[in-house]
Chains A and B, each alone.
Chain A
């Protein structure tokens, strides 16, 4: 008897499989493409690889700020892409190795849920039947394609995260529809390599959901780097290489060699027999409770397929919650301390409430913020760079409820804030923590003391 069937080998599925296998469960994982899912193959990892190449290039170009000059600095797009492929291959085989060492049976192929009976849940794959006590669905999400007139006709001009990563040549110009995290990271990458980038965003600010002030600062930085931003802009038509949008009642047109569609992602709930179980959906995703249980006993869902908090680290933790509960450890999923990072240059990182979300929820809070220049190492390493660190605490008790940062390397610092929020640490406890000196992370300590 199989203890746990897992459909999808992304960050939810493979981490759950790893933990469950480690705990001694009999696990079968189905993956139709490559282990690691979107994150490893078409998302987080490849983009970070590209962005690092861009960062090195940019640093080399502007080395003279630090007294280091180089001549004839150039990049080789093909090499950048082939290195990305190498990194992905390495990490995918790493995941495969983990499956092996934790005794997880990986079945390559499209799984299909047949039924649920007294025997268990039946899944077929490659003509084989598998019956498991439990089923974890982590089929992830795909780029959502809105019904914009002319989109289909535009053909290969239109890219999603998947196609843009497969490009072998750098486009001379790129229009990014949707200035969210994915859109901004590609905008950053191609801007660094000299592509003319135009961002078209429907909302009043880029990076919706992040701290408004931080998002606006990042937009300013990129506007100075040459990215053109069109906010409050609703795309009404695509005509070949042209994107037509309405802004404040007027119609504008922008043009790009390629057009990146990054307007959000939608859960994959069709095509694998989910309907045979009668699993309840909520806003297009699978409805789950705080233990990632669906309405069907023994059937769980984790990751993007739930339709909210579409992040690899959310997915992994959700998968772990499922396994913990299956292996006798009571565990529930918390969403109040999930960090979000944008790997632009400079990076943006945030966790917990923003001023906007706190206001919307009616949380009484206090806020303090300082420029990144209060951290000595930031000044040493970011010539002419700007940044900010903002901390939100509960008004009454001073517990940390949100931290938002702009500046390198925020992505590596933010987990400290996650721990503080998870632990409900107040300013008092934070003040007693020793931070290494000199590091950029000290900015958090500075802000804590500025309350």
Chain B
């Protein structure tokens, strides 16, 4: 693994272009790898066959570590295998000896004559003892001639170190870790578990690890990315809800009397108000794309839907073409499709919608800060309806139902003034809504 730059200590294999058994020509790409900043490709320096690939895709490989062995089929490569990276040492012991000591380890390999910065002189006796006890040679101070590590140095280290169980030694050898403090085994012996993160074993395992569903992974990724990659903040504002509550009553009656073919809910009305407000604030009906901002001529409304499998945000395309009845019916259809799993996956992409509404009012939530579905510029959280004192004029104050609106916007895309005016516009639309039944 080539060393790319001074600070790079390891690289991650992204693609293995050649696998064990593949024939390669000099100059062909063997594997691609990346650091945290850039990606590279490694060409084969020789013609031959890949005999061993020590690492797979996704593995993190320390720099200057051997990655592959290329040779002729049938060639004896046992001499190139040593127990573990920590054991990279050059010595006079016949290399066959090393494989006898740990025949089942092909963890990492080193061409015997390659020099690395970790090269240490060590006596065969010391080496054997260190290997047996999983002591990384690189951590030993040599007190022999020319700093050569002798058996005594290993013994000293052994005395200082807590006693380890055979399994702990194996794990330590493989993972290159050492016990720091006394362990939890017999008389303070270090157990394998002590080398890992500490746990409280009293009640046995009091948790269960479950693999994330793909959907959960996607939600996790996009929500985290949203908070990481944008400048979000939320404004809260209450709208007088008397008008829509009254309309809701009328809509119910109208439906019962068969005058309209939809059950128009408060959420439908809020969405309707949002669409109308968006038409007046094109700055909000946008995607923020870094260098550019995309202004949409149509409103594609995203609606957060809670399903058994997790949060889904389907987009209702061209929502501004719809009447309140059409909007109501289509939103219901979308939600049902999400819950039954029959929704068109393309409509679930964050790019499919231009703006999202998330309504938690039904659950009694009073204030929340919804997370933007990037690259959208904003999202509206709809809260529950609460009575609030209001000046009705002429010194009359009364408790009036207010619906809470929480607008989270990306400050990269919108400024506070614009966002506030937009939020206020939604409130106005809610307070002055007209629906013909």
Contact = CB atoms under 8 A, between A and B. Distances in A.
B186 interface: yes
Contacts of A282: 203
Interface in B148-197: 165-168, 170-171, 182, 184-186, 188-189, 191-192
A426 B166 CA distance: 7
A399 B184 contact: no
Q: Is the interface of B mostly helix, strand, loop or mixed?
A: loop
B168 A333 contact: no
B201 A290 contact: yes
B200 A289 contact: yes
Contacts of A110: none
Interface in A366-407: 394, 397, 399
Interface string A282-297: 1000001110000000
A311 B416 CA distance: 67
A334 interface: yes
B188 A335 contact: no
14 contacts: A334-B185, A334-B201, A335-B201, A335-B202, A361-B205, A362-B209, A397-B167, A397-B171, A397-B192, A423-B185, A423-B186, A424-B168, A425-B166, A426-B167
Contacts of A361: 205
B170 A330 contact: no
Contact of A424 (B166, B201, B202): B166
B192 to A, nearest CB: 6
B173 to A, nearest CB: 10
Interface residues of A, number: 23
A426 B164 CA distance: 13
A73 B205 CA distance: 52
Interface residues of B, number: 21
B167 A424 contact: yes
Given A330-B188, A422-B185, A422-B186, A399 B167 contact: yes
B393 interface: no
Contacts of B167: 394, 397, 399, 424-426
A333 B202 contact: yes
Given A290-B201, A362-B209, A426-B166, 15 more contacts: A288-B202, A289-B200, A289-B202, A334-B184, A361-B205, A394-B167, A397-B167, A397-B170, A397-B192, A422-B186, A424-B191, A424-B192, A425-B165, A425-B166, A429-B166
A162 interface: no
Contacts of B185: 334, 422-424
Nearest to A419: B186
Interface of A: 282, 288-290, 308, 330, 332-336, 361-362, 394, 397, 399, 422-426, 428-429
Given A426-B167, A426-B170, A308 B191 contact: no
B204 interface: yes
Contacts of B166: 399, 423-426, 428-429
Nearest to A430: B166
Contacts of B182: 330
Contacts of A399: 166-167, 170, 192
B380 to A, nearest CB: 42
Contact of B184 (A332, A397, A429): A332
Contacts of A308: 203-204
Contacts of A426: 166-167, 170
A395 to B, nearest CB: 13
Contacts of B188: 330
A424 B165 contact: yes
B201 A336 contact: yes
A335 B184 CA distance: 12
Contacts of A428: 166
Contacts of A429: 166
A227 B287 CA distance: 76
User: Which one of B167, B184, B188 has the highest number of Cβ atoms from chain A below 10 Å of its Cβ?
Assistant: B167
A399 B171 CA distance: 11
Given A424-B191, A426-B170, A290 B165 contact: no
Nearest to A336: B201
Given A334-B184, A399-B192, A423 B165 contact: yes
A212 to B, nearest CB: 19
A394 B165 CA distance: 14
Nearest to B188: A330
A394 B191 CA distance: 14
A308 to B, nearest CB: 7
A423 B169 CA distance: 11
Contacts of B191: 424
A428 B102 CA distance: 12
Contacts of B209: 362
Contacts of A332: 184
B188 to A, nearest CB: 7
